[in-house]
Amino acid sequence: MSIENKVAIVAGGSRDIGRAVAETLARKGARVAFTWCNSETDGADTLKAIQAAGGAAISVRADTTKQRDVDNLLEQTRSEFDDSIDILVNVTGGLVARKPLLEMSEEFFEGVMKLNVTSAFLTAKAVVPRMGKGASIINFSSQAGRDGGGPGAIAYGTSKGALMTFTRGLAKELGPAGIRVNCVCPGMISTAFHDRFTRDEVRANVAGATPLRREGLAREVADLVAYLASPESSFITGASLDINGGLYFS
């Protein structure tokens, strides 16, 4: 897939799926600026892995729910690589905690929406003026955006559903400029996310109910992202693509 020498930003690219995305894009020849927020070690480890494989990357500390951090990310990307940006991948997000409706504060709900939706809005708004024809934006939703999520995931599922709608609207708006916008919706992927939020017996049950009889791998999601970032997917825009081993058909 021809993304060699393209400039890519991966927001939330220092661990799990985000790290796999940053490493995959770099391995395929893109020059990658990826962000980390809470763990400098994760950022350093991802950068080291990319550089050891011969890739070009920079690691930027950024909370992409904050405008000043997004502006700094864009400035560092420009300084290191180029003024134009070809690929934006919005991986930043999270469940934060499992809370049923009656235990959920307004601040908690708004915080989850800010983490998952506002971050994508801010990065897209900053990056789009630097994109040209053939550029690609890939947002991250979730199977939870399709089916509402598991117990205590109302806020998370709502935010991920909003990202699919954001993707569709942005695809219509940017299509005439030749910029494509798509979304990936992972199901049960073997990551630290589920290590933290999903009980082992639940994971085993989900894997057993999945037609492929296993959890997905971060690199499999990254390969889908790389395809959507490449010219090989040039007539796909506004789509929310499921990657869940057949557990849920949308």
Residue 10 CA to residue 100 CA, distance in Å, equals 31
CATH of domain 7-243: 3.40.50.720
Q: State residue 43's pLDDT score.
A: 95
User: Distances from the Cα of 189 to the Cαs of 8, 167, 195, 202, 203, in angstroms?
Assistant: 23, 22, 10, 13, 10
Kindly report, residue by residue over 154-202, the tens digit of the pLDDT: 999 999 999 999 999 999 999 999 999 999 999 999 887 777 778 888 8
pLDDT digits (tens, 9 = 90+) for 97-131: 999 999 999 999 999 999 999 999 999 999 999 99
The active-site residue, picked from 81, 156, 166, 193, is 156
Nearest to 164 by CA among 139, 134, 186: 139
CB atoms within 10 A of CB 134: 13
Whether 156 is catalytic is: yes
